Homo-oligomer: A and B are copies of this chain.
């Protein structure tokens, strides 16, 4: 069965967390949000005339007739199905909590450029975005990445993955968050190797996996841009905390 991925055209966005899992597994999938027809297809699912299980927002995934929406929920669906989730109960539950913590981190990364709300332009909240970015760089990046560094160090298997002894969706998601942070804040993240060596070693390891490396080199991998969650505005960047 070919998965159908519904996500906004032309941005990696939150859809990227799903794409990385699908690419790693090699599962066939189709991007349903491309072009005008794709946008209309998404809007039809979100609209009043949709079925009894309308998503709140993209990304959402269809597996046959089944609809799954919200990143962490999609990954909790795909992970166990494709061997990208721990089988031990405590590890599986821990990994699910980590996925939610990463979702919170991503939401905070978004708020750096839209602290007053998403309905107003960035240009109308630049001063506030600068303040929020300062706090994000000085306090939140260290808190979140420091936490994941600690979790990798504490992993009893000591093999460099976040949870358990093999790759899970959380490793793929953390890979993308690091990429996004480096795109948005190249100055502030210039010393991540020094501060979070385990996180960065994992990042390198994930990027070198055959299916992921092939994907990253393909035109299916979209560039970050300023319509996305992770945006680069040089005025929001600063030297490391």
Contact = CB atoms under 8 A, between A and B. Distances in A.
Given A117-B139, A132-B116, A139-B119, A73 B54 contact: no
Given A111-B111, A132-B115, A101 B70 contact: yes
B52 A66 contact: no
A66 B54 contact: no
Nearest to A129: B116
Nearest to A56: B101
Contact of A94 (B53, B65, B120): B53
Contacts of A156: 52
A120 to B, nearest CB: 7
A111 B67 CA distance: 30
A83 interface: no
Given A53-B94, A147-B56, A150-B48, A100 B72 contact: yes
A118 to B, nearest CB: 8
Contacts of A30: none
A128 interface: yes
B93 A66 contact: yes
Contacts of A93: 66-68, 73, 77
B90 A119 contact: no
A220 interface: no
A237 interface: no
